[in-house]
């Protein structure tokens, strides 16, 4: 298997526990690792033989913009679920960073990292 990396996608949403996050929103940075077979696409140069990451990014962007979750863990889980709807993605690693949470500890970020696979979506794990 091969891996397609999507890095440093900046998104804006309203996921968070604190009132400021629910009302004002917060910026997220998303890095994805999509485990898939890329050999055929490398030979054919045909988009139908690979992961159409534009479609995935649109779905993920819409999810983040429209969701209202308390926890970044929940948002990351739902991102994994959306990515795995693509039939060519076997496993996804989600690295979701909440930029500048509204806490009085200076300039910091929080990142949730998780890996999910097709068996998880199908309820086998």
At 116, which CATH number? 3.30.1130.10
Which of 94, 98, 93, 91 is closest to 69 using CA atoms? 98
Total structural domains within the chain: 1
Residue ranges making up the domain that contains 59: 2-121
Active site residue 98: yes
Report pTM.
0.93
Q: What is the mean pLDDT of residues 25-48?
A: 96
CB 125 within 8 A of CB 115: no
pLDDT tens digit string along 72-105? 999 999 999 999 999 999 999 999 999 987 777 8
Q: 93: phi > 0 → left, psi -120 to 50 → alpha, else beta; which?
A: beta
The helix (run of H) or strand (run of E) holding residue 82 is helix 72-83
Catalytic residue among 8, 74, 98, 124: 98
Distance of CA 32 to the CA centre of its chain: 6
């Amino acid at each position: 298997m091969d891996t397609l990396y999507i890095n440093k996608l900046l998104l804006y949403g309203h996921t968070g526990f604190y009132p400021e996050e629910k009302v004002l929103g917060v910026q997220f940075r998303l890095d994805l690792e999509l485990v898939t077979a890329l050999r055929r696409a490398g030979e054919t140069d045909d988009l139908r033989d690979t992961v159409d990451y534009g479609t995935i990014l649109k779905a993920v962007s819409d999810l983040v913009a429209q969701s209202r979750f308390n926890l970044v863990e929940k948002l990351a889980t739902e991102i994994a679920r959306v990515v795995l709807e693509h039939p060519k993605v076997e496993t996804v690693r989600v690295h979701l960073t909440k930029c500048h949470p509204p806490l009085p500890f200076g300039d910091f970020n929080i990142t949730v990292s998780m890996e999910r696979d097709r068996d998880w979506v199908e309820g086998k794990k």
